[in-house]
Each structure stands twice: as C-alpha cells, then as structure tokens.
Amino acid sequence: MTELYPLTPPGPSRRSTLRAAGGGTLLLGLGLAGCRSAVSDSTSAPRGASTASKRGGVLNVAVNADFTPALLFAQSGQPLQHRLIYNTLTRYDDQLRPKPELAASWAYAKDGRSITLRLRDDVTFHNGRRFTADDVIFAVKNLQNPVRAAQLRSTAATITGFEKRGDHELVLKLAHPVNNLFDLFEFMIITDPETVEDAVTGKKLIGTGPFKLKKWSPGSGLSLTRNDHYWQAGRPYLDGVELRVIAQADALISSLRSGQSQLSFDVPGKSLGVVKNDPRLVITNYDTGAGAVYLGVNTTVAPLNDRTVRQALAWAVDRDRLLAQTLGGYGLASAAPWPKSSPAFTEANRTHYTHNPGKARQLLKSAGHTKLELPLLHLALPGDTAIAESIQYDLKQVGVHVTLQPTDGATAQKKLISQGMPALWTMGHGFAQVQPSTLAVSAYPFNEAKNTSKYRSAEYTKVVQEAWTEPETNTAAANALYEKISSILLDEAFLIDLVVRGRVQVTADRVHGVALNKFSYLNLDHAYLV
C-alpha cells in the first residue's frame, strides 16, 4: 500500500501542508485601506449578538445579471449562488491553506500520485439522500465531461482512478502529480447526480448547502429558503436569500440606499464614491486579486496576428486612469495578471507596459499602420461599458478606432469558450488568485491548449506543463517557471491585462458575516441581520 502522510497537522505552514500537492499562494492582500480577506473561517461563529438574536430574516442581494444554468459548472460572471446551494470538498483560508468542508481530512501519497479523502458522514442532500463517496466520483467525472465547459477540466482529467473504502473514504489516483488539486476541490461544487441534467436547465438545483432553491424566475432572479437539515448545526441564521436582477446601475444603487437590497457586488466602480458617502452602507474590498480587467486580442485577425501591433495596444491603454476613473480606485494597475499575493508577482512585470501613446504609435508605424478600425465586444452592463469606453478613448489616441459591441453575459461567455470572439474584447478573468499554474491550464483566455485568442506556442505549452507539475517545495524552480509564463504573456500580448482587482462588496450596515471563497462563491453560513 502506498505510504500516506497527513496534510493537515496542527498549525501547519503553507509549504508543509501542500508539499506533495504544491501550488497555492500566500494571500497578503493588496494593501488597500479598509480591505479584508475574501474568506472567513466558516467553522467559527461571528462575533456580536447572541445566537437567538441572529436567527431569522431574508437577505436581498442585488445582482446585475441573471443566473445562467447552462454555465453552472463553469466559472462565470455570476457565481454567487454556488456556495449557497452547494458545498465543496475543501475551502482555502486567508493564507490559502485548505480547510475541511465535505472532506473532513485528507492524506497525500509521498509520490504525489494519489490522495485519500475522508468524507463527512453526517451530510444529506436537499432531497434527503445521504452524501457518499459516489457523489465525489460523479462530481469529478462531471467536470471531466467537455460539455460542462469547466475551466478546471484539465486538472479533473488528471484523476484517472477511484478506490472506495466504504461510503465515506475515497482514494483519488492521479495520472501525474499536479500542484493545484485543492484549487479543483474549492472550485468543484458537489451536486446530486440524479438531478444534474435538471440543474443545467434550472429546473432543480439540489445540493448539500445551507439554502434550497425555492424558485428561479428567469430574468428576475433566484429565491432560496433555509435548509433546516444543514450539516452545520444551527446554521444558517438567515431564513432565506433573494438574488434579484437589477440590471441598471442607478436602480441597483437606489435599491441599496433605500434598503430594498442589503448586499451587492455589482456597483460600478465610478459609482462607489456615491455609495461611500452613505453612512448606512459599508464598502468592503476583497483583496485576493480574484478578478482582473483585460483586453483580449484575436491573434488570427489581421493585423492582430502581428505581435508588434498587439504590443502597441498594450502601450496605448492608460491603466492608472482606468483604475481611478472607471473602477473607483479599487484594484491594482498591472500589465501582468498576478495579484501581489501571488508567488508569480513581480513589480517589473506589473509595470512592463505603462501608458506610452508615443511608443504605441511608433510600433504601429513600424508595422505599417497609422490607422486601424476594429470591433470591441464588451458586456452590456454599466460598469463594463465604462471600461470599454475608456479603452476606446485610449486606442483612438494612437489611431486605433474601435466600434463597441455590447453583448449579454451568456452570449459573451459562450463566445469566450468557443473561441468566437471578434478582433478585440474586454471582460474580466479570474484564476490568478490561486495556484499560478491554474491560470494557464484552466482560464479560457490563457489556456495553453485552447485559448480564446487562438494563440498557440510550443514554448508556452512546455513551460505551462512544467509549472503545473513542479512541486511547490522546489521554490526556485517554480518561481523561474512562473517568470517564463509571465514573459511569454507580456511579450506575445495575446491577452493584455489592465487592472487586477477583487470583488467590491456593498452591504447595509445591518448585515454581518458575509464571505466569499476564492472563486467568488458567496458564503452566508454565518451571515445575519441586526
């Protein structure tokens, strides 16, 4: 039998915890005033009023786009409901150390080729069925299915065998060691296998989470009610959650200021100043770098197949102005995708491209262009439109005239996955906030095998694969590989990062205990109203 050793001894360091798995980052934050971490320890109750006074009430959450059932297993722009209805195997704490959720404990084989999970035996699905190892096996195989369009499918695909040791112990066997397995465990929601096809059409959403689906009204939002049989005793405190679609920014802000909504992550950056002046509302910046604003480039569209032209675009955008005027100052202007908390971060890469329109014009001229006309797709939401307009202004100053193409979120996501984007687009990406290799093997804009920009390179594939399998204990080797990835991204400019940011949360001052996981799944296990 393969010798196993525990991954969760008392008080482990990050490196001793994941020495076989590798991967992960130490989340130190971006140093912004008033910031807090994106994950609370959900095993400890929040401070404040007594349990009796915390119980009850319905939390109204304002969202700017509806739930898209077809994208349930993909990281999309609206993942808030995932952790309300479903659980995951593990969750990261503030230092990106994995903590138990449905997996109570785990042990890695010394060769990194298998991991043994010991599962909770007191968990039931919303339909009353007991949670077992079979549900984990299904969850992995479900993400391996290309139909699900899950960004972490490559990592799920490394799991090639399952050995059940009863209903609540499971060995996952790996084709080769990977250093981002716990990214998969936090990303992968555990669904009921019997109703999964109903889930991707929105008919039934059955998980083990703190809330149950009461009703989904397409275009209006989700209505959730308390799961009275939740495995965490006494939780959740709330009786229900309403996720209400309010697409217009003014209406969304009005809803918060009037008290009709008590929580939102969708206030446009340029409107945060208005919200900040309201004493009844609290702004919290989740400083994990879980999101980033970028300019995508289709490298098969002339003249964007010329790297010199792509580099010109990277020099043309004023990242500092975009951050200050459009995003309310929440974030970090950066030419690279990494937050400061990532081991892949360097200041030199962050400032590799700065605002230099003269250099942009010079590069365009050297490539034989003085004027270009290109389309720019963006989400038809106020905040995203403002970002697109800012980019449009900057590009115009160097002779690149772009026509804006506002697009709904579901269509944009499908184009992102299917490589159907026009010459240019601007959206947000995640995955830089976890193990660095995850970005390049999982995120659609960066995927070394099939990315939205249609960029392919044997060198890029080689270094990404090496970084993915490099143990974290090999710090120098891992950091060298991360630097190679960054160099390729910056030099090839098939995707142009602009601002690293997390999620900016606005809550009524009567709301307490809200948390997000590293993939922006909303955790309300300990949330309450006063």
pLDDT band per the 50, 70, 90 thresholds, residue 353: very high
pTM: 0.81
Q: For residues 146-164, b (16+ Cβ closer than 10 Å) or e, as one string?
A: eebbbbbbbbbebbeeeee
Tell me what the mean pLDDT of segment 342-367 comes to: 97
User: Quick one: 185 exposed, middle or buried, by C-beta within 10 A (0-12, 13-18, 19+)?
Assistant: buried
Q: Tell me what pLDDT residue 53 has.
A: 66
- 3 state DSSP class of 376: strand
| DSSP SS3 for 176 | coil
**Same fold for the domain at 1-28+87-204 and the one at 291-501?**
no
Q: Quick one: how far is CA 205 from the chain centroid?
A: 21
Q: How far is CA 93 from CA 40, 97, 233, 264, in A?
A: 7, 5, 21, 23
Identity of residue 311? Q
Spatial separation of the C-alpha atoms in residues 17 and 20, rounded to whole Å: 8
Class of domain 1-28+87-204: alpha beta
Q: Which band of pLDDT confidence, cut at 50, 70 and 90, is reported for residue 261?
A: very high
Report the C-alpha gap between 294 and 497 in whole angstroms.
Answer: 4
Mean pLDDT of 263-285: 90
pLDDT 10s digits, 316-334: 999 999 999 999 888 999 9
Interhelix angle 475-492/458-469, nearest 10 degrees: 150
Q: Is the pLDDT score of 409 beyond 90?
A: no
Of 9-18, 30-39, 84-93, highest mean pLDDT: 84-93
Does residue 150 carry a pLDDT above 90?
A: no
Q: Which pLDDT does position 37 carry in this prediction?
A: 35
Cβ proximity of 431 and 520 under 8 Å: no
Judge whether 79 and 151 are in contact, CB under 8 Å. no
pLDDT of residue 39: 36
* Omega prior to 268 cis, within 30 of 0: no
Tens of pLDDT along 488-517? 999 999 999 999 987 899 999 999 999 999
135 vs 133: CA distance, rounded Å: 5
Q: Where does the pLDDT of residue 308 fall: very low under 50, low under 70, confident under 90, or very high at 90 and above?
A: very high
Q: What is the pLDDT of residues 154-209, one digit of tens each?
A: 999 999 999 999 999 999 999 999 989 999 999 999 999 999 999 999 999 999 99
Topology classification of domain 291-501? Dipeptide-binding Protein; domain 3 (3.10.105)
Average confidence (pLDDT) over 349-370: 98
Domain assignments of the chain as residue spans, ordered by start: 1-28+87-204, 31-67+209-281+512-530, 291-501
The answer to whether residues 177 and 471 touch, using CB atoms and an 8 Å cutoff, is yes
Calculate mean pLDDT across residues 331-347: 93
| Summary mean pLDDT of the chain | 88
Structure tokens at 52: 């009796």
Report the residue count for the chain.
530
Q: Please write the tens of the pLDDT for every residue from 29-58.
A: 222 223 333 333 333 444 444 666 689 999
Q: Can you name the CATH fold of 31-67+209-281+512-530?
A: D-Maltodextrin-Binding Protein; domain 2 (3.40.190)
| Tokens linked to 364 | 């365009």
Looking at the chain, the whole-number percentage of residues with pLDDT higher than 90 is 71
